[in-house]
Structure 1
Amino acid sequence: MTGDTYSVLLVTKDTKISTLVSAMLFPPMFELSVCQDFNEARRKCDERVFSIVLVDFAEGEGTDFAIDISDASSTILLFAPQEHFDQISYKVEGYGILTLTSPFDQFYFYNMIKVAIAVQYKVQVLSSQTTKLKEKMEEIRIVNRAKMLLMQVKGMTEAEAHRYIEKEAMDTGAKKIAVANLIINTLS
């Protein structure tokens, strides 16, 4: 594990769970927040993104909460009672929610936290790649719009417009998107 700090939200009304988790997830590696109320937990999840969200089953209310917040980039672990584990796990796995039996032993819990950290790392990498791809697509869209304007207003061919934008970018030391935006602002 790295020297990073992971923000963890624990949602449970069970003091045994909160005591055990608090004893295992301590600073500086973990910043733990504990909520006993699902509405308060929803507010906290709306205010910030937690690295890991631990949710107690709580008569099914925890399952609904975990599914509700599953669109966030948090890694979610749901504590499910042993007798309903398979049913609950099957229900939530399509949402990317990890399940573990409750009560749980410390070694198993620790290993699941390690899995959650690894999953969180992958989510961050993929999110960063997605952002870069969106930025690149936006750049292509803007450059294409500038080329279209050069073709319509200046009568250039597509290849000439492309070369013009690249040459302007090289000559001025600017990025193609900046040249394209300047062309769009000038010609439209």
Structure 2
Amino acid sequence: MPAALIASAGIQSNEYLARHISELGYLHPSIVASGGEARRRMGERDYDVIIINAPLPDEFGHELSLDAVQKTDAGVVFLAKSGAASEMADRLQEYGVLVLSKPFTGVQFRQTVQIAAACRHRLEYLRQENDRLRDKIAQMRLVDRAKCVLIEKRGCTEAEAHRLIEKTAMDTRRDRADVAREILEEEE
């Protein structure tokens, strides 16, 4: 179930935001009244969307939005009166915070939350792709180290070392990295 955090000090605002966000599937949003409490909650749990309704009693809220972007993968929405929103928009949007000026309609709010959620999903996909590529690079380095060992200790050429690792991996139905790891362990 998707999770949302709302940092907002006004009771009426909280009800309004919770009602509209529940229409998007965030049925039980966590609602806190201060930036400090929001930071504590961000450390305890992962949220899909974080909504900050400025001002908060202990801070304006733009610092909280920057913390949320830097310390979480959540889509972050910053709500502020039009003058403050215009002033903050350029600086916050540079970091990926979506700024919505008050007053706004329910449709505008829901669309902004949907965009924030989409940004979070995109970021999650890119992180997974990045992790996959890092693993692939690590495996390639491992195989290259094993080739170097075969070249230095067994007198193989680079092509022969490559072929030996590939053939062993195919014959034993194992990953090339596993074969390379085994070669490195044998030679140490």
What is the TM-score when the length of structure 1 is the normalising length? 0.90
> Structure 1, residues 62-95: CA drift from partner, whole Å, max 9, x if none?
1001112212211111112111222100111111
**Offset at residue 142 of structure 1 (A):** 1.1
Determine the structure 1 residue equivalent to 2:146: 146
Which of 42, 46, 49 is equivalent to 2:43? 46
- Displaced runs of 4 or more, over 3 A: none
**Offset at residue 52 of structure 1 (A):** 0.7
Gaps of 5+ in 1: none
Q: Quick check: 1:6 aligned with 2:5?
A: no
Gaps of 5+ in 2: none
Distance 1:134 1:150 in 2: 24
Distance 2:45 2:152 in 1: 47
Distance 1:165 1:74 in 2: 43
Determine the structure 2 residue equivalent to 1:35: 32
**Secondary structure of 1:156's match?**
coil
What is the TM-score when the length of structure 2 is the normalising length? 0.90
Structure 2 residue identity aligned to 1:159 = A
**Offset at residue 37 of structure 1 (A):** 2.3
Q: What are the residue-to-residue correspondences of 1:159-178 with 2, within 5 Å?
A: 159-178=159-178
Structure 2 residue identity aligned to 1:58 = P
Distance 1:178 1:34 in 2: 49
| Number of residues of Structure 1 aligned to a counterpart in Structure 2 | 184
> Structure 1, residues 29-55: CA drift from partner, whole Å, max 9, x if none?
214111112222212212232111111
Distance 2:106 2:37 in 1: 27
Percent identity reads 26
Query: CA RMSD, aligned part only?
Result: 1.7
Determine the structure 1 residue equivalent to 2:179: 179
**Secondary structure of 2:99's match?**
strand
**Secondary structure of 2:69's match?**
coil
